[in-house]
């Protein structure tokens, strides 16, 4: 297994290009199943999760051709001969559940493995299933699979989510585009990735209103056409790299960044003593002057502070002046980076869903282990400013969500390299 070696160094400067959003692409790709016309995605990120979703779609009979080094995905679901998503693919990536709504909507049947949990939580899919039932689906859970049918097709329904679930909103939205009649999604998730999906579906001929708000109304149509869609910028990769100059000092421009993608996060950076300036090319980030100040953070569905940036923000607050409190309200087990940061000298106390971080002067490099996607990159950020060398192992977690992290960070002056272990 590969590891990444980071030597703490000085200020960073230069530009980092931000890729297309992994979490947008993972819902845009299953949308191909809704139509027999070609769907082409531009600005797709080159990540292992995208390759896993490609394999899944191909196992169903879709054609997925990766062009321009993976930045363009040309897809066609003209001949879907298989409507079963096997456990051995679904367990690798939970987003596979997002083929359920499209398969059911277009073919009236789908058999999809329950995704199971992952390191950060149990990750149930009850909200996905309730939404599809509200559209007339019959769901039979057995041997770890969802056996879904909708003999006469799905029909428009009223769906009120107990929680603004991103995935459940995406599954329901895609299914509703081909349901007979009108569907209303209440307490829908408002993430930019959902707005991006709605835009793509509309380009395919779907009738959708209210994306980005908590009430979405979808008028079902008989069939959808094809489209060519540019994937929205990845706000989580953006926020992650904004923290690099915040932690190390210097000034970095994040190409493609927009404040609107991360308003709550930018407000917290400002309170912590980090300036964010929007230019026509992206966002310029630098420390205002002197120390980083402690701030309190509570994760929430969009437009709140993103849970996917909690681990990275903790890395910044480890050397802030004062005590910070990070409250994780989305997932039940998303502080696994804390013990690893403590190996580097951080002073963190985790109680239930709250981590109390007492700032220390400096972190010290140490061998640490990545436990999940976002934890892995928080350890790299901490290593950038730590004294000495940090070796992050199990970086396969990183490859799921960050393309070319070594090239992007060394491009702005970080001392970082990838070690391939025999
Ligand atoms: C999406 O996961 C993202 N993944 C996650 O990013 C992100 O952390 C999450 O949204 C929250 O923003 C993708 O888009 C592929 P949820 P998702 O449904 O859809 C509970 C990353 O690092 N819940 O909003 O699974 C669930 O247990 C990943 O890129 C139910 O109880 O998130 C969790 O506690 C990690 N029942 C909370 O809601 C359900 O049916 C948030 O889940 C669904 C969810």
Same domain, 128 and 254: no
Of the candidates 254, 258, 266, 319, which has an alpha carbon nearest to the alpha carbon of residue 290?
319
Mean pLDDT, the chain, as a whole number? 96
Predicted local confidence at residue 421, as pLDDT = 76
Domain shared by 207 and 267, yes or no: no
Atom of ligand 1 at shortest range from CA of 127:
40
Of 77-91, 116-130, 388-402, the one with minimum mean pLDDT is: 116-130
Joined together, the tokens standing for residue 375 give: 């934890």
| CA dist., res. 170 & res. 18, Å (int) | 23
193 Cα nearest atom in ligand 1: 14
What is the Å distance from ligand 1's center to 166 Cα?
6
pLDDT (tens digit per residue) in 1-20? 899 999 998 899 999 999 99
Distance 168 CA to ligand 1 centre (A): 9
pLDDT value at 119 more than 80:
no
Closest ligand 1 atom number to CA of residue 164: 24
Highest mean pLDDT out of 21-35, 120-134, 392-406: 21-35
- pLDDT of the residue at 133: 98
Q: What is the pTM of this model?
A: 0.97
Whole-angstrom distance, CA of residue 419 vs CA of residue 312: 22
**Residues enclosing ligand 1, CB less than 6 A?**
23, 26, 95, 121, 123-128, 163, 165-168, 307-308, 330-331, 373-374, 401
Q: What is the CATH number of the domain that holds 254?
A: 3.65.10.10
Same domain, 211 and 262: no
CA atoms within 13 A on the CB side of 242: 33
Looking at the structure, do residues 196 and 302 belong to the same domain, yes or no? no
Atom of ligand 1 nearest to the CA of 125: 40
Per the structure, the count of domains in the chain is 2
Position 77 scores a pLDDT of 98
Distance CA 68, CA 338 (A): 39
pLDDT value of position 120: 80
Active site residue 118: yes
Query: Can you give the pLDDT at residue 289?
Result: 85
Cα(340) to centroid of ligand 1, in Å? Answer: 24
Q: Which tens digits make up the pLDDT trace of 35-85?
A: 999 999 999 999 999 999 999 999 999 999 999 999 999 999 999 999 999
Q: Which ligand 1 atom lies nearest to the CA of residue 374?
A: 22
**pLDDT at site 201:** 98
- At residue 9, the pLDDT reads 85
Q: State which residues form the domain around 117.
A: 22-230
Task: Indicate whether 395 and 409 sit together in one domain.
Answer: yes
Q: 177 CA distance to ligand 1 centroid (A)?
A: 22
Is the pLDDT at 117 greater than 80? The verdict is no
Same domain, 36 and 163: yes
27 and 146 both lie in a single domain: yes
Cα 83 to Cα 37, 73, 102, 288: the distances in Å are: 18, 21, 10, 54
Q: Which of 22, 23, 159, 310 to mutate to test the pocket of ligand 1 (most atoms within 8 A of CB)?
A: 23
- 167 C-alpha to center of ligand 1: Å? 6
Atom of ligand 1 nearest to the CA of 306: 12
pLDDT of residue 45: 97
Compute, in angstroms, the gap from residue 291 CA to the centroid of ligand 1: 34
Residue of minimum CA distance from atom 34 in ligand 1 = 331
Which residue among 205, 230, 255 closes a domain?
A: 230
CA of 95 to the centre of ligand 1 (A): 9
Which residue, judged by its Cα, is nearest atom 38 of ligand 1? 165
DSSP string, 114-182: ----BTTB----HHHHHHHHHTT-EEEEETTEEEEE-TT--B--EEE-SS--HHHHHHHHHHHTTSBSE
Instruction: Please report, for the chain, how many H helices and E strands are present, in that order.
Output: 14, 24
Instruction: Report the distance separating Cα 392 and Cα 2, nearest Å.
Output: 9
pLDDT at 381: 98
Could you report the per-residue pLDDT of 159-214, keeping only the tens digit for each? 999 999 999 999 999 999 999 999 999 999 999 999 999 999 999 999 999 999 99
Specify whether 116 is located in the same domain as 193.
yes
**Whether residues 153 and 256 fall in one domain:** no
Shared-domain flag, residues 244 and 154 = no
Check: CB of residue 341 under 8 Å from CB of residue 377. no
Q: How confident is the model over 234-262, as pLDDT tens digits?
A: 999 999 999 999 999 999 999 999 999 99
Last residue of a domain, one of 230, 257, 280: 230
Query: Longest Cα pair distance anywhere in the chain, in angstroms?
Result: 65
Last residue of a domain, one of 197, 230, 263: 230
Q: What is residue 116's predicted lDDT score, i.e. its pLDDT?
A: 76
- 225 and 237 part of one domain: no
For residue 330, the CA-to-ligand 1 centroid distance in Å is: 8
In this structure, the answer to whether residues 310 and 368 fall within a common structural domain is yes
Tell me the sheet residues that pair with 109: 149
Q: Is the pLDDT of residue 118 over 80?
A: no
Cα–Cα distance between 285 and 239 in angstroms, integer? 10
Catalytic-labelled residue, pool 25, 118, 248, 318: 118
pLDDT over 90 for what percent of the chain? 92
Ligand 1, atom 21: nearest CA belongs to which residue?
308
Q: Which of 165, 168, 399 to mutate to test the pocket of ligand 1 (most atoms within 8 A of CB)?
A: 165
pLDDT reported for residue 105:
98
């Amino acid at each position: 297994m590969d590891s990444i070696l980071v030597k703490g160094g000085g200020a960073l400067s230069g530009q980092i290009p931000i890729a297309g959003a992994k979490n947008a692409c993972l819902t845009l790709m299953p949308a191909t199943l809704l139509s027999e016309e070609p769907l082409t995605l531009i600005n797709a990120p080159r990540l292992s999760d995208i390759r896993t979703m490609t394999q899944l779609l191909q196992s169903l009979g879709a054609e997925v051709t990766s062009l321009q080094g993976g930045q363009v995905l040309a897809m066609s679901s003209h001949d879907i001969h298989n409507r079963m998503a096997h456990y051995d693919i679904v367990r690798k990536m939970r987003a596979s559940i997002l083929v359920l709504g499209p398969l059911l909507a277009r073919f009236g049947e789908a058999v999809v493995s329950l995704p199971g949990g992952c390191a950060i939580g149990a990750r149930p899919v009850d909200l996905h299933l309730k939404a599809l039932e509200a559209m007339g689906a019959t769901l039979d859970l057995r041997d770890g699979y969802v056996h879904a049918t909708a003999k006469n097709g799905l029909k428009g329904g009223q769906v009120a989510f107990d929680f603004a679930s991103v995935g459940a909103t995406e599954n329901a939205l895609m299914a509703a585009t081909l349901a007979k009649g009108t569907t209303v999604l209440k307490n829908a998730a408002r993430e930019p990735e959902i707005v991006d999906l709605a835009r793509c579906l509309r380009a395919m001929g779907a009738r959708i209103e209210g994306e980005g708000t908590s009430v979405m109304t979808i008028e079902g149509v008989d069939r959808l056409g094809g489209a060519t869609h540019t994937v929205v910028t990845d706000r989580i990769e953006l926020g992650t790299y904004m923290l690099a100059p915040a932690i190390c000092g210097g000034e970095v421009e994040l190409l493609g960044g927009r404040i609107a993608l991360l308003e709550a996060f930018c407000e917290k950076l400002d309170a912590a003593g980090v300036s964010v300036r929007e230019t026509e090319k992206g966002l310029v980030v630098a420390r205002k002057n002197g120390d980083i100040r402690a701030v309190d953070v509570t994760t929430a569905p969009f437009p709140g502070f993103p849970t996917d940036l909690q681990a990275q923000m903790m890395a910044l607050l480890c050397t802030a002046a004062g005590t910070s409190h990070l409250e994780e309200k989305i997932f039940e087990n998303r502080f696994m980076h804390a013990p690893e940061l403590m190996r580097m000298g951080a002073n963190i106390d985790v109680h239930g869903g709250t981590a109390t971080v007492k700032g220390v002067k400096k972190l010290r490099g140490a061998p640490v282990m990545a436990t999940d996607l976002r934890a892995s990159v928080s350890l790299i950020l901490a290593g950038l400013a730590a004294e000495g060398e940090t070796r992050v192992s199990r970086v396969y977690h990183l490859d799921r969500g960050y393309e070319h992290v070594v090239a992007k960070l060394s491009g702005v002056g970080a001392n970082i390299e990838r070690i391939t272990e025999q």
